[in-house]
Amino acid sequence: MKQNELGTSGIFISELTLGCMSLGTDLDKARRIIDAALDSGINHLDTADLYDFGKNEELVGQAIRHKRQQLILTSKVGNHFDPKTGTSFWDPSREHILNGAKESLRRLGTDYLDFYMLHGGTADDPIEESIDAFETLKKEGLIRAYGISSIRPNVIREYVKRSAIDGVMMQYSLLDRRPEEEILGLLGENRISVLARGPLAKGMLSTAALQQLEKKGDSGYLDYSAKQLKETIHKLQSFAGGRPLNELAFGYVLRHPGIATAVFGASSAAQLEENLAAGQSALSDHDYDQLQQLTKQNLYTAHR
């Protein structure tokens, strides 16, 4: 599988990333999915301390035991949570980031993270303090590189100006093309990679598109009304001409040169295999142009 450099970090990640949030709680099942992903050429796993209030990191840590050197491991921090009460609050302070990293390392059973991200962010955050924490972790060798997971253009711009981030994780798909207008060019100019999450738009661009549309599309999606969303999905399926819709979805996202990887989840080995097959099909220039005509150029509005 093709690998792309994460910013200028010297870290190379596969163009498909296994997002671990959907692995569940069964260790044997999680291990089978992760092993199959690694065998397929995926080398990048993404988790976060908030997923199942730390339990997802523990699960991943157990599943990759004895395989740590074979993969690139990413986690996230910024949500101060209490697993006993199931509550959390936003905390981008230096103290929380430093403590959060050590707790994540403990749960994952490793002494370093390849990539560590702030799991959100607002314009009111103590950004310099947060950056200082990540730089400290880097100097101490606890992380190799850092970035943010955010869809807020104003926050992303501040980190581009003030920090040495190597990557930004953001929502990006055929149904959410917001990054194209404001962010992808900026990040590309600064050699900052994009990790695209949600390439299948909550499953509405998957092989089960119509079923997921019925479950999740009643109120529309972003600036698509429910009617527009349904019409667009039908147009995309017609254009696919028998090809799996997720093949077009992955192909579209990965076609942009600023995208280092597309992050997808899998709750079963079958789902993993289905997305692996779709995620490694190249998209022609003609198909790319047509898909842009069939979907909207959305814009960021509330996320400021």
Distances from the Cα of 199 to the Cαs of 134, 246, 295, 303, in angstroms? 28, 9, 14, 19
DSSP, res 16: E
Name the packing angle between helices 55-63 and 94-108 (round to 10°): 40
Q: Quick check: 75 and 113 in contact, CB under 8 A? A: yes
d(CA 55, CA 48): 10
For residue 41, what are the contacts with CB-CB under 8 A and spacing of at least 6? 1, 14
| Count of CA atoms in the C-beta half-sphere (13 A) of 32 | 12
51 assigned to active site:
yes
- The rounded distance, in Å, linking the Cα atoms of 12 and 43 is 9
Nearest CA to 1 out of 12, 14, 17 is that of 14
Element (H, E) at 98: helix 94-108
51, 146, 159, 172: the active-site residue: 51
The length of the chain is: 304
- The runs of H, that is alpha helices, within 146-220 are 153-162, 178-182, 184-189, 209-216
Residues designated as active site: 51
